[in-house]
Structure 1
Amino acid sequence: MTDCPTSPWPLPLPPVKEPPIPPLSVWPTGQRDPLAQLRDAGCVPGTETDTERIPPTVAAHAITTYTRPGDLVLDPDCGAGTVLVEAMRAGRHALGLTAGTRWWTLARANVTAAKTAGAWRDGSVLDARPKVLATVRTAGLIGRVGLVLTTLRAAPDRATGPDRDPVESALANLATTLLYCEPLLRAGGHVVVIARPLRHPDGALVDLTTPLVAAGTSAGLAPVERCIALTAGLRGNRLVTRASLAERRAAARAAGAPTAHHEVLVFHAEHDAQLAAEATADIPQPADDGVEYPGGRRAA
């Protein structure tokens, strides 16, 4: 098994047509403030310093929605390990990778704390970059991963330069990571990418949906859902934002409201999407006898 080739960035879209943006849904994942979520999950002190972490409630929602008990959940850039904790608490196997010594220490501590608290005792963290997923070292994972759950993280300083946009660098790293992860998916497995809102220097929000869909498509993945994971609480028909001071200032510069959500893109392996489409096309349609049956729709 050899390293997967990296692709130039921006990544080319498929010929003729752009990948479709899937329909939008909302996850009510902001009822608890960030620090309360970490306490509820039993995360160790210091986890809050991973400002790019996937919030525990967002991770838990993705895991329970797209996996079954006993599935393997992989975070190829796990940071302080919130995804691993929630996977273990939900009775899933968990594997995380991180090349940051600080995050590896925190992620290991969080895995140990989850085990001590009685969570599923199969969680581990590798001190490695996502590139290791394309080597013989992880060949046993091919076709076994039920969910790849990760986030868009800032690129290391060495990967950026004065002429390289930091958002483009982060997207390029993520696109390469998805290339490594795609062969690991089991039949019916999913890839879920979480992205916190980013702003341009003038305060305007960055369009992340389009490049994230392009990154997944270039890795052989088909977008199946686009979701909004709320980071704000719901009070009737009103959102209670939990924006930081920096986020409030950025929103003020852009003359807009503070962000109250994370962007979520959900993908299938391309061959799974093709098989599903073929299976649907092969199902014989009943003749329209003028009668509507419960749970069914008459053909147009």
Structure 2
Amino acid sequence: MTDRPTSPWPLPLPPGEEPPVPPLSVWPTGQRDPAAQLRDSGCVPGTDADIDRIPPAVAAYAIATYTRPGDLVLDPDCGAGTVLTAALRASRHALGLTARARWWTLARANITAAKTAGAWRDGSVLDARPKVLATIRAAGLVGRVGLVLTSLRTAPENPKDRAPSPDRDPDSAIAELVATLAYCEPLLRSGGHLAVVTRPLRHPDGSLVDLTTPLLSAATAAGLAPVDRCVALTAGLRGNRLVTHASLSERRAVARARAAGTSTALTAHREVLVFQLAHDAELSAAAVAGIPWSPEDDVIRPAVNGVEYPGWRRAA
């Protein structure tokens, strides 16, 4: 027997066993409508075309909760750059990646707008796909990122289609995100977090697509442990009621779906899954349980590109 705490689940998981779902919490991030949020955060016109963007209020809440001033926030598929803007406005450094020329232009413009408004931290966006994070070009980021904050991107390539589609297949988007999680895991500093934001999707019959299970499995495979599961409201709280902030196109899409006999509803939230490095989760569990952690239990992970990084040691 040993006093060493066990991780949130055995790694790897036994065949057929699913990772546990962490406790649910609710973020009151929908008090302002989407247009007002974009305006308040200083985003440039056209940012609203990115329907998979993380709403500025959600990004700001996650950054305030999981980082400290001066931390580096990374969005490996940043779209129009709402995460980058929120990070800079909160005195965090920001780095984004996108391979879509339209989003790169908007993200760059949003960074410039934030700097013009007084943000002094370093912010940049690269014209690159997330897989560049697994190359020597990203070696300087290893063990330095305080928060990876990104969204599951399931929108069609056609930017004019801004309304949720009940028959959109998220499988390819999840597969891309699985790889992205693996690229990002070595970049997290000790105590850092990785958060994935998803918007509700529906099957053709109107039932919700289960995005949580495959994302938890993907994170497990990447060496991450779930620590929080949150509902970030995009609808406003008015007493005991939720008031949606859906656009006209979204309302029309829901009306068309209902007329066709598909049960659907307006979106009122985003789901946020938050992870840590599995070893960090063990340390947190040990601290909560009051179990001492021996220095012999520290972990130094394999070198990357032939270099060992001291920041990878998980100190007690």
TM-score range relative to shorter protein:
0.7 to 0.9
Structure 1 residue 153 displacement after superposition: 0.4
Structure 1 residue 280 displacement after superposition: 4.4
Contact map agreement 2:77 2:96 (CA 8 A) in 1: yes
Choose the corresponding residue for 2:177, options 174, 178, 189.
174
Tell me, in whole angstroms, the C-alpha distance in 2 between the residues paired with 1:276 and 1:250.
48
Match of 1:186 in 2: 189
Identity of aligned residues (%): 73
Would you say 1:273 and 2:281 are equivalent positions? yes
- Report which stretch shifted further, 241-250 or 82-91: 241-250
Contact map agreement 1:192 1:266 (CA 8 A) in 2: yes
Q: Which runs of 5+ in 2 are unaligned?
A: 1-10, 158-167, 293-316
Structure 1 residue 247 displacement after superposition: 5.1
Match of 1:103 in 2: 103
Q: Find the residue that maps to 1:85 and give its secondary structure.
A: helix
Q: Which runs of 5+ in 1 are unaligned?
A: 1-11, 158-164, 285-300
Matched ranges for 1:3-82 at <5 A = 14-16=13-15, 17-82=17-82
- Go from structure 1 to structure 2 and tell me whether the alpha carbon gap of 1:73 and 1:203 turns closer, same or farther (over 3 Å shift): same
Matched ranges for 1:96-245 at <5 A = 96-154=96-154, 166-243=169-246, 244-245=250-251
Superposed CA RMSD: 2.0
After TM superposition, the score normalised by the length of structure 1 is 0.84
Would you say 1:260 and 2:268 are equivalent positions? yes
Structure 1 residue 55 displacement after superposition: 0.3
Amino acid across the alignment from 1:19: P
Tell me, in whole angstroms, the C-alpha distance in 2 between the residues paired with 1:14 and 1:247.
41
Structure 1 residue 275 displacement after superposition: 2.4
Amino acid across the alignment from 1:46: G
Moved over 6 A (4+): none
Tell me, in whole angstroms, the C-alpha distance in 1 between the residues paired with 2:78 and 2:265.
29
Structure 1 residue 203 displacement after superposition: 2.1
Contact map agreement 1:84 1:94 (CA 8 A) in 2: yes
Amino acid across the alignment from 2:254: R
Q: Find the residue that maps to 2:271 and give its secondary structure.
A: strand
Q: Find the residue that maps to 2:170 and give its secondary structure.
A: helix
Tell me, in whole angstroms, the C-alpha distance in 1 between the residues paired with 2:251 and 2:198.
19
